[in-house]
Amino acid sequence: MIVAAVGYLLWRLRHVSIPEIIRRFFMSDCCKPKSNCRYDLAVIGAGSAGFSAAITAAEMGAQVALIGHGTIGGTCVNVGCVPSKTMIRAAEALHGARAAHRFPGLAGEANVIDWAGLIAAKDDLVTTLRQKKYIDLLPEYNGIVYLEGPARLNGQGVFVNGAAIPAGRIIIATGSSPALPDIPGVAEVPYLTSTTALELAELPRSLLVIGGGYIGCELAQMFARAGTEVTLVTRRRLLPEAEPEVSEALTGYLRDEGIIVRTDLAYRRIVRTDRGVELTIAINGAEEVIPAEQVLLTTGRSPNTDALGLEAGVRLSGNGGIVVDERMRTSRPGVYAAGDVTGRDQFVYMAAYGAKLAAQNALNGDGLVYDNAAMPWVTFTDPQVAGVGLTEQAAQAAGFTTKTSIVPLNQVPRALAARDTRGLIKLVADAGTDRLLGGQILAPKGADSIQTLVLAIKHGMTTRELGETIFPYLTTVEGLKLAAQGFGKDVAKLSCCAG
């Protein structure tokens, strides 16, 4: 075995890098399952959730079959978080130069001079992170065997490329894909998704973004700042899960940047034209046609459950996600699921968290419970939107008698010093106990402050305790202290650092 391994490595050394040599050795025929092999755990899906489950199990001493199909690494590194956020940051750099005039005596300008070069740099980053954070990790865990091919469940277990993969437990972590909206004609027009929009070789002259969730808002602003004429349309309001004050303010800021935002409408039909596409909408019964060169669909994601053979005892929810209980168990004994395929909490960190719990429960007796009560979320618009816990409406629906505090950013010294007072902070608390229930931040770089509120909610702090906590001056996070004090004081009447 050792001689074969050394010979394999030396022969391949002339052609590929050392990390790639190691990867190919560990994924070569010597590691394919034999008829007498048995795995403690089979993980279907090689994205963030799949790797989290496999690594957790391997660290517990288990033998793991990690089954991937397609590009290794899943959504986040390949087509989601990493590529979108680097492009969003590039657009922020453009906007930052143009917004320099907010300081007296300054002026600035910036433009896209090589869109293809920007896309190429994004692709290089994706390739590097996929290699370092996924491919190169496999040889570091002796208990993980990587298998490539479509997986399918039946009554006996998992099959890959027609071969049975014997395993004591199974975790499904196959992620999700962009969903098509229910608009007549949408399947007949050339449309972009959040994946293909970031692969465009040329910047479109005009873009119609359908869907007002976090992906739609982020990409609409990114393309607008890059120079595209953008129209953003949505059936309800922007970020419908956010506080209404946050949604309304963000809508205004996007419009200030020249984005046409149309909300509270109905889709009638979409057709292809010789200049691109035309979407017919209806507002208060009156129809209107919106033309654009390209259309980007951002109306949600669908769990990847097709062709998995889940009819063999695994129940699905109304949105197509795999139903799991609080311990990540599906309706079929011995089968667990985690990540986007469950149709809930579709964030990469929650996928990794849920998959880790699933692996621990699968191997150690189902003792751990999934807890998302203090789950932070972020929308990377500018200003950013970040939140945790219950909204005012959700808290009332849960039976709480609520009280709220809203502080506009023009009361936060950091925002005044930066001459950028776009945004607000809203906190929700239980009126009876003063305990914090939730909060949202709309502010430039506001996402970096949300974890303070996460910890406050996780540890059951009251608004008084948060308001009495020492915060550093001239920081965005100081706004949380001011918002907490706002339950009992008029913060406009406070001196700097007072209270």
Report yes or no: 405 and 393 within 8 Å, Cβ to Cβ.
no
In 127-142, which positions are buried (b, 16+ CB within 10 angstroms) versus exposed (e)? Answer: eebbbeebbbebbebe
155 and 257 assigned to the same domain: no
335 and 389 assigned to the same domain: no
**Read out DSSP for 385-448?**
EEEEE--HHHHHHTT--EEEEEEEGGGSHHHHHTT----EEEEEEETTT-BEEEEEEEETTGGG
CATH code of residue 289: 3.50.50.60
Taking 3-state DSSP, the helix, strand and coil percentages for the chain, each rounded to the nearest 5, stand at 35, 25, 40
Structural domain includes residue 372? no
Of the residues 364, 385, 408, which one is the last residue of a structural domain? 364
355 and 469 assigned to the same domain: no
**Quick one: pLDDT at residue 313?**
84
385 and 467 assigned to the same domain: yes
**Quick one: pLDDT at residue 32?**
46
**Quick one: pLDDT at residue 155?**
74
Structural domain includes residue 391? yes
206 and 153 assigned to the same domain: no
50 and 151 assigned to the same domain: yes
Structural domain includes residue 369? no
**Quick one: pLDDT at residue 27?**
41
Structure tokens at 495: 């001196």
Question: Which of 373, 392, 393, 397 minimizes the C-alpha distance to 454?
Answer: 373
How far is Cα of residue 176 from the mean position of the Cα atoms in its chain? 11
- For tokens 């208060």, what's the residue? 284
488 and 440 assigned to the same domain: yes
CA 329 – CA 354 distance, rounded (Å): 11
pLDDT at residue 51 greater than cutoff 60 = yes
Structural domain includes residue 124? no
pLDDT > 70: percent of the chain:
92
Residue type, position 85, single letter: K
Structural domain includes residue 239? yes
pLDDT at residue 454 greater than cutoff 70 = yes
pLDDT at residue 2 greater than cutoff 80 = no
pLDDT at residue 168 greater than cutoff 90 = yes
**Residue range(s) defining the domain that contains residue 391:** 377-493
Structural domain includes residue 276? yes
Encode pLDDT of 251-292 as tens digits. Answer: 999 999 999 999 999 999 999 999 999 999 999 999 999 999
Of the residues 264, 299, 334, which one is the last residue of a structural domain? 299
Of the residues 299, 331, 353, which one is the last residue of a structural domain? 299
Query: How high is the mean pLDDT of the chain?
Result: 92
Q: Quote the crossing angle between the two packed helices 81-98 and 214-226, to the nearest 10°.
A: 50
Q: How many residues does the chain have?
A: 499
pLDDT confidence tier of residue 7, bands split at 50, 70 and 90: very low
CA 360 – CA 375 distance, rounded (Å): 20
CA 231 – CA 101 distance, rounded (Å): 26
**Count of the separate structural domains present in the chain:** 3
Question: What is the model's pTM?
Answer: 0.91
Encode pLDDT of 384-441 as tens digits. Answer: 999 999 999 999 999 999 999 999 999 999 999 999 999 999 999 999 999 999 999 9
Report yes or no: 149 and 45 within 8 Å, Cβ to Cβ.
no
212 and 315 assigned to the same domain: no
286 and 168 assigned to the same domain: no
Question: Which of 49, 46, 45 minimizes the C-alpha distance to 370?
Answer: 49
281 and 315 assigned to the same domain: no
pLDDT at residue 31 greater than cutoff 50 = no
Structural domain includes residue 2? no
CA 364 – CA 387 distance, rounded (Å): 33
